[in-house]
Structure 1
Amino acid sequence: MKKSAIAGGCILGLLVIAGAYQGSSATSDPLTLAEYEKLKAGSREKTLFAYASTCQQDSEKVADSYPITWTCYGADGSSSAVFFYSEGVLFSKAQSGLT
């Protein structure tokens, strides 16, 4: 299955999951829209953590080539972004409500 198909098929479900976690996210270092826009396809997973500490891993690593998803939260606790990584490299992302 192509990575884009995985991302497309999972994005809606992950955004629903992200909404369920919104109340429990820490707001010590929330993700902003400007930071979200700096994260480009091809960036390394560790770059994400330089911007926000409000990220939670949504899926477990099954194999090196299996996608990993992270959800990060904005300052208001209801805005979020979902990042899709394969082999530690960002290949897709989506956000809702970041400012």
Structure 2
Amino acid sequence: MKKSAIAGGCILGLLVIVGAYQGSTVTTDPLTLAEYEKLKAGSSEKTLFSYASTCQQDSEKVAADYPLTWTCYGADGSSSAVFFYSKGVLFSKAQTGLT
């Protein structure tokens, strides 16, 4: 087997391990309804991440003032909340099924 194939296999293996680790950490701190209710208009993105690690960015940051959307998941995996940020400040939110 060539060295490049071995190196490629090792890198692929590391990526799989990292992906599995990230997947496991995502479900360790789900968003609750009580935490959702604490997040008010004007809250920072940093505040959101202090409550939950299950958040995924849904939109890309095109410019500094371009709005960003984050979706965070509840403990059951099907409940969620969507947060809308502009310039790093929460301006709108919605949730479904959080407990």
TM-score (norm 1): 0.74
Q: Deviations over 1:8-64 (max 9, x none)?
A: xxxxxxxxxxxxxxxx78320000000000000001110000000000000000111
2:31 aligns to what SS in structure 1? coil
Aligned to 2:70: 70
> Aligned partners of 2:88, 2:27: CA distance in 1, in Å?
25
Aligned to 2:27: 27
The number of equivalent residue pairs is: 76
Percent identity between matched residues is: 87
Please list every run of 5 or more consecutive structure 1 residues that lacks an aligned counterpart in the other structure: 1-23
> Aligned partners of 2:74, 2:45: CA distance in 1, in Å?
18
Aligned residue identity for 1:78: S
Please list every run of 5 or more consecutive structure 2 residues that lacks an aligned counterpart in the other structure: 1-22
> Aligned partners of 1:45, 1:27: CA distance in 2, in Å?
19
Residues 52-91 of structure 1 aligned to structure 2 (within 5 Å)? 52-91=52-91
The alignment's C-alpha RMSD in Å is 1.3
